[in-house]
Amino acid sequence: MADERSLKRFSGDVDDPGKELRKWKAWAQAKLVTMEKLTEKQRGPWLFTLLDGAAYEAVEHFSLEEMSAENGAEQIWKALQARFPEKEKHDQMGEVLGEVFSLAATDGETSKQWTARVKDTFDRCRRKAETDFPSAARGWITLNCAGLTEQEKAIIKAKTQGSLQFDDIAAAFRSCFPAFKAPGAKAKKPIGALHIEHEDVVEV
């Protein structure tokens, strides 16, 4: 039997339980593959023992006989997915686009952390919202939403020779200001529809 310390439990008590259920199901199914001695009839009861809170309440009506049936595990998955459905595609899109348009460096965030977070956010937007912003738009946000002073931004743009491409801006940012820590109050500026400085041209 699996070591208790290696087991993950699921309760559904999170902000996005549908997403968490998908991740937990992937883990549980992979774990089951490694448990060769577990029979088909034992899979349902095993899953049942890993549930807490609202997740437990969603399946507590199953009898041991029902959970031990050949399709017992599948019945538990169906009950959990009915109780914790994933967000609709348009909801996921709105959520990730909201993350993009609220991007701002947090207080104390380093240049490495900030540029990595910007990249991760836009990568997630491309995957989930199927929306890919131009590299120059990503670079503009990286430069203008970090809380940099005008002088610091000028130094970075001089380093990139005026390029706003994300890779150029991110590399120059980390190179010019390796010890940078974002001043949260200054960084929290709304980007709205990407306010463009007169010398920067970004097409979205």
Amino acid at 71: N
Torsion of CA 114, 119, 121, 127, to 10 degrees: -170
Domain borders along the chain are 4-83, 89-187
Q: What's the CA gap between 136 and 167, in Å, rounded?
A: 9
pLDDT tens-place string over residues 155-169: 999 999 999 999 999
Q: What's the CA gap between 125 and 130, in Å, rounded?
A: 7
- Supply the pTM of this predicted model: 0.52
pLDDT tens-place string over residues 22-45: 899 999 999 998 888 889 899 999
Length of the chain: 204
